[in-house]
Amino acid sequence: MPTDKNIELTISDGHASAPPKAAKKILDVAYDLFYRRGIRAIGVDEIVKRAGVTKPSLYRSFPSKDELAASYLRQYDREYWERFDEAVAAHPGDPRAQIKAFLTRIGKRTQVADYRGCGMTNAAVEYPDHSHPARVVSEANKQELRRRLRAMAAAMGAQDPDTLGDGLLLLIEGAYISGQLFGLGGPAQAVARNADLLIEASLKK
C-alpha cells in the first residue's frame, strides 16, 4: 500500500481533509531557499529551522530531500505555466504578440539584482543524472516548453516552425542564464527585441 507521503498538497476544496500545515510551511521555505541558493547548497536542517518545524515533520510529509526538491519544482512548474498562460490570454489568437509579451516579462524579471534564473534550468545543472527526481520534473517542463513554442511558431506561419520554436527556446534559456550571470544591464534585457527580429526573419514572405 502506498503511504500518504509526498502528497501534492491538495488545494483546499471546501471542507475536505485539510493538508497538514507543517508540510506547506516546509514547502514554502524549501521553495525559497532552493530557488535562491540552490538545492545542493541547502541542508534539511536549515529548512526545518527556518520553517519553525522539526526534522521528523519534514520526513513525515516528504520521503526524502530529493523528493522535496521534486515537489518544489512541481510547484514551480504550476506557477510557470500560469505566467505563460497569462501572456497567452492577453493576446488571443495572436501567437506573435503572446511570445512578445512572455519574453518582455522575462526580460524585465532578469533585470533585478540577484536574479536567480529559472529554477528548472538550475536544478538540471545541479543534477546531471537524468533519473534524479528533481531533474525528471525539470526535463518534463522543458519538453513542454519546447512543444508550445514550436506550436506557436507554426501558428505564426513560420517557414520552418521547429527551427523558429527552438530558436525562441534558446533565447529564453539564454535570458534565464545570462540574467543571473550578468545582473543588471546584462544581455537578457535584449531578449524580446532579438526574438522579434528572429521571428520577423523566420516568417513566410
Partner DNA sequence: TGACAATGTTACCGATCGGTACGTATACAT
Partner DNA sequence: ATGTATACGTACCGATCGGTAACATTGTCA
Interface mask toward its own copies for 56-95; x: CB under 8 A: ----------------------------------------
In angstroms, what CA-CA distances link 51 with 7, 72, 125, 135? 19, 15, 26, 25
Phi, psi of 203 (to 5 degrees): -80, 150
> If contact means CB under 5 to 8 A according to the sort of partner, which of its own copies, DNA, none does residue 171 touch?
its own copies
Cβ pair 54, 48 in contact under 8 A: yes
Question: Helix 133-156 vs helix 95-110: angle between axes, to the nearest 10 degrees?
Answer: 140
User: At closest approach, how far in Å is the CB of 183 from its own copies?
Assistant: 8
Nearer to its own copies, 88 or 164 (CB): 164
Residue 187, judged by CB atoms within 10 A of its CB (0-12, 13-18, 19+), counts as middle
User: At closest approach, how far in Å is the CB of 140 from DNA?
Assistant: 22
Nearer to DNA, 54 or 159 (CB): 54
User: At closest approach, how far in Å is the CB of 24 from DNA?
Assistant: 8
Interacting residue with its own copies among 19, 77, 142, 155 (CB under 8 A): 142
DSSP track, 22-79:
HHHHHHHHHHHHHHHH-TTT--HHHHHHHHT--HHHHHHH-S-HHHHHHHHHHHHHHH
Task: Candidates 23-31, 53-61, 73-81, 120-128: pick the segment binding its own copies (CB under 8 A).
Answer: 120-128
Interface contacts to DNA, rule CB under 7 A: 4, 17, 20-23, 42-46, 52-57, 59-61, 64-66
Nearer to its own copies, 53 or 177 (CB): 177
User: At closest approach, how far in Å is the CB of 144 from its own copies?
Assistant: 12
User: At closest approach, how far in Å is the CB of 50 from its own copies?
Assistant: 17
Q: Is 133 in the site for its own copies (CB under 8 A)?
A: no
Nearer to DNA, 46 or 166 (CB): 46
Write the DSSP symbol of residue 201: H
Neighbours of 146 (CB within 10 A): 15
Alpha-carbon distance of 139 to 132, in angstroms, equals: 10
Q: Is 32 in the site for its own copies (CB under 8 A)?
A: no
